[in-house]
Amino acid sequence: MRIISGKYKGRHFDVPRNFKARPTTDFAKENLFNILMNSVDFEESSALDLFSGTGSISLELLSRGCPSVTSVEMDPLHHSHLKKVSAALKDEAWRIVRDDAFRFIRRCSESYDLIFADPPYALKGLPEIPELIMSSNMLKKGGIFIFEHGKDNNFEEHPCFLRHIAYGSVNFTFFAHKED
């Protein structure tokens, strides 16, 4: 896993072979961040990475200067990996939480400028995640929620839908609160 841009650009972190996570491809990640560069001031944005897996998205957010990045991961092996990478970076802006993402959403009292969620594509309850996040106070006004999912999901009818972009089998749907 490599970091594409920012202060940690070019850094590589080995992902254990026994990982169950499906990391966002470098191609999709690079295109996603190219889009975000035009709409997000990373140095002024707090970010949440749900279903963090390898930590690839969290690392890009940290590298691009986010002053606060929270990564939520339930799997003990993945959580341990995130902690090792965090110890190597020594970046105090990174908070790693071992928790079930659904439980974290229900209990979360913080709000974020940018939320990214990349659950397993076959996860039971996956279609409910956008509504859970958008109906909570987790996303700040003017913030963006990016949901990575498989091709079998369509969220265009959601009232907070902004846009959908696909890169091969990787689909990103963007959500934001509509202005009153």
Query: Is pLDDT of 149 > 60?
Result: yes
Q: Could you tell me the two tokens for 127?
A: 């279609």
Query: What dihedral do alpha carbons 149, 131, 174, 117 form, nearest 10°?
Result: -50
Q: Where are the domains of the chain?
A: 43-175
Work out the end-to-end distance of the chain between its first and last CA atoms, rounded to an integer number of angstroms.
Answer: 41
CB atoms within 10 A of CB 3: 20
**In contact, 114 and 88? CB cutoff 8 Å:** no
* pLDDT over 70 at 155, yes or no: yes
Average pLDDT of the residues of the chain: 93
pLDDT given at position 116: 98
Residue with token string 């191609």: 27
Instruction: Give 131 or 21, the one with higher predicted confidence.
Output: 131
For the stretch 27-85, pLDDT in tens is: 889 999 999 998 999 999 999 999 999 999 999 999 999 999 999 999 999 999 999 99
Residue 2: its pLDDT value, please? 87
Strands of 29-176 (E only): list them: 46-50, 68-73, 94-98, 112-117, 139-149, 161-167, 170-175
Alpha carbons 118 and 175: distance in angstroms, whole number: 14
Q: CA 117 to CA 57: how far, in whole Å?
A: 10
pLDDT of res. 141: 94
The residue type at 56: S
pLDDT of residue 23 exceeding 80, the answer is: no
Residue 180: per-residue pLDDT: 42
In terms of Cα–Cα distance, which of 45, 20, 53 is closest to 145? Answer: 45
**129 and 150 Cβ atoms separated by less than 8 Å:** no
Tell me what the mean pLDDT of segment 11-17 comes to: 85
Residues 119 and 93: beta-carbon distance below 8 Å: no
> Can you give the pLDDT at residue 13?
87
Instruction: Give the pLDDT score at 178.
Output: 85
* CATH number at 43-175: 3.40.50.150
Strand, helix or coil at 51? coil
